[in-house]
Copies of this chain bind each other. A is one copy, B any other.
Amino acid sequence: MVMTQARPEARARTRPALIDGDFHNELDSIKDLYPYLSSRWQEHLETHGTRGPQGGYYPRFMDHREDARPPSGRVSGSEVGHSTKDYLDPYNVAHAICIPLTVAGRQSNLDLDAALATAVNDWQIAEWLERQPRLRASLVISLENPPAAVAEIERLAHDKRFVQVQFSGRPQEPMGRRKYWPIYEAAAKHGLHIMSHAFGSYGNPIIGTGWPSFYLEEHIGPAQAMQANIVSMVAEGVFEHFPMLKLVSVENGFGWVPSLMWRMDSAWTLLKSEVPRLKRPPSEYIREHLYLTTQPVEEPHKPEHFLELLEQYGDLVDHLLFASDYPHWDSDDPDFALPNQLPDEIKRKIQYENARKLYGL
């Protein structure tokens, strides 16, 4: 659902408080990070620029809502004061989880990548968390450089405003692979969740049949990539090994979860000898460890199917988090993101209670 232009500000005080699981704090340009980068890396960027695996980029993807642009002319979502006035206040957002989508985490030069991740986190602290106490943040890491990622987690884990560690939707390897376990170990040690946000690419096409033609396919594809990542994490035994770890799936939809659980359990019945790390049916790990955000809602053609989905999942009603994707072009209006027919108690869980419990807010 595209956010409407009309701002119902008069209704703000009567709105129920929200927690937003997908709030984007944006860089106007990479120069915003220079205060947090050494002169060595500033010079590197001036001389060489950035470079990572290609193939996942569509110009449309990074579009922002023009109506959310600050008066300064900077990119929408790049000023905490304006985002507060434009979104957090009128929609009565009690807390929002920052998810910065930057070039950090996707640089081929892994030293640059680690420096950028550190800079993004320091920028988040100084320019977002310090200035708006309602915000929490995702800890950005150099994903394909696990030793640096672990060091960054250790550097910042004391700051409880970081509530999760950020993965892209398509790391270089499926998310369960052993390469990423040091990251999971460090996160679990400090009670940080793992969050995977849709999109991002490390050179693989988003779908398993090669490169698609349209952004439409790229927009639908994250659901498939996330399914693969969840299967990988369960099959490799990540949740068996790190029983406290939670996985938060952002912007990947959730309508596919029941049938994925059914298929995984059927396959496991046949193939459990291949994956002896798993002690229980795959669906049990998913039920315990997976949380998902609402945007984009896969709107069923009949509203009653939404309730069927919640029931088919089992505890989905306790594992679904409201998310706006503000200020991206396809963000959800909190007033219209959930079907009207949902019982108030369920809406309350999705809009507030589930995130409050998950993030300890």
Does A206 lie at the interface of the complex (its beta carbon under 8 Å from any beta carbon of B)?
Answer: yes
Given A220-B264, A267-B219, A298-B259, A213 and B236 touching (CB < 8 A)?
yes
Contact check, B231 vs A217: say whether CB atoms are below 8 A apart.
yes
Does A312 lie at the interface of the complex (its beta carbon under 8 Å from any beta carbon of B)?
Answer: yes
Contact check, B2 vs A270: say whether CB atoms are below 8 A apart.
yes
Does A258 lie at the interface of the complex (its beta carbon under 8 Å from any beta carbon of B)?
Answer: yes
Contact check, A228 vs B223: say whether CB atoms are below 8 A apart.
no
Contact check, B224 vs A330: say whether CB atoms are below 8 A apart.
no
Does A256 lie at the interface of the complex (its beta carbon under 8 Å from any beta carbon of B)?
Answer: yes
A264 to chain B, nearest CB (A): 6
Q: How many copies does the complex hold?
A: 2
Residues 206-228 of A contacting B (Cβ, < 8 Å): 206-217, 219-221, 223-225, 227-228
Contact check, A298 vs B266: say whether CB atoms are below 8 A apart.
yes
Contact check, A215 vs B271: say whether CB atoms are below 8 A apart.
yes
Residues 251-272 of A contacting B (Cβ, < 8 Å): 253, 255-256, 258-268, 270-271
CB-CB under 8 A from A174, the residues of chain B are 207, 209-213, 217
* Interface 9-residue window, one of A109-117, A183-191, A299-307: A299-307
A49 to chain B, nearest CB (A): 26
Contact check, A228 vs B256: say whether CB atoms are below 8 A apart.
no
A339 to chain B, nearest CB (A): 12
Given A223-B263, A256-B256, A298-B262, A232 and B208 touching (CB < 8 A)?
no
Contact check, B266 vs A297: say whether CB atoms are below 8 A apart.
yes
For the complex, give the distance between the alpha carbons of A343 and B103 in Å: 55
Contact check, A170 vs B208: say whether CB atoms are below 8 A apart.
yes
Does A105 lie at the interface of the complex (its beta carbon under 8 Å from any beta carbon of B)?
Answer: no
Given A260-B256, A301-B283, A312-B308, A208 and B225 touching (CB < 8 A)?
yes
Taking beta carbons and an 8 Å cutoff, which residues of A are in contact with B? 1-2, 169-177, 202, 204-217, 219-221, 223-225, 227-229, 231-232, 235-236, 253, 255-256, 258-268, 270-271, 274-275, 283, 296-302, 305, 308-309, 312, 314, 330
For the complex, give the distance between the alpha carbons of A314 and B209 in Å: 27
Q: Output the residue of A177, A202, A253, A255 with the most chain B CB within 10 A.
A: A255
Q: Considering the complex, give the chain B residue whose CB is closest to the CB of A254.
A: B259
A267 to chain B, nearest CB (A): 5
Contact check, A224 vs B211: say whether CB atoms are below 8 A apart.
no
For the complex, give the distance between the alpha carbons of A309 and B209 in Å: 26
Among the listed B172, B221, B258, which residue makes an inter-chain contact with A208, where contact means beta carbons less than 8 Å apart? B221
Q: Output the residue of A206, A263, A266, A271 with the most chain B CB within 10 A.
A: A263
Q: Considering the complex, give the chain B residue whose CB is closest to the CB of A227.
A: B224
